[in-house]
Amino acid sequence: MLPQGWLMSGTVLAALRRPNGLIFQTMPKRNSSPSQTAKTGEFQQFDYGEKNREKNQEKYSQTSPPFYRIEDMTVLTILLSSGEDWVISTAEIQGLLPCIINLIHQEHFLDWNHWDHIWGLDAPQCMYRQMVGLMEKNP
Q: pLDDT tens digits for 80-130? A: 899 998 888 888 888 888 989 999 999 999 999 888 888 888 888 888 888
| CA separation for the pair 93, 49 (Å, rounded) | 26
pLDDT digits (tens, 9 = 90+) for 37-85: 656 667 788 888 888 899 999 999 999 888 888 889 888 888 889 999 8
Residue 77 is classified by DSSP as E
Q: Which residues pair with 109 in a beta bridge?
A: 82
* pTM > 0.85: no
CB atoms within 10 A of CB 89: 13
| CA separation for the pair 29, 45 (Å, rounded) | 10
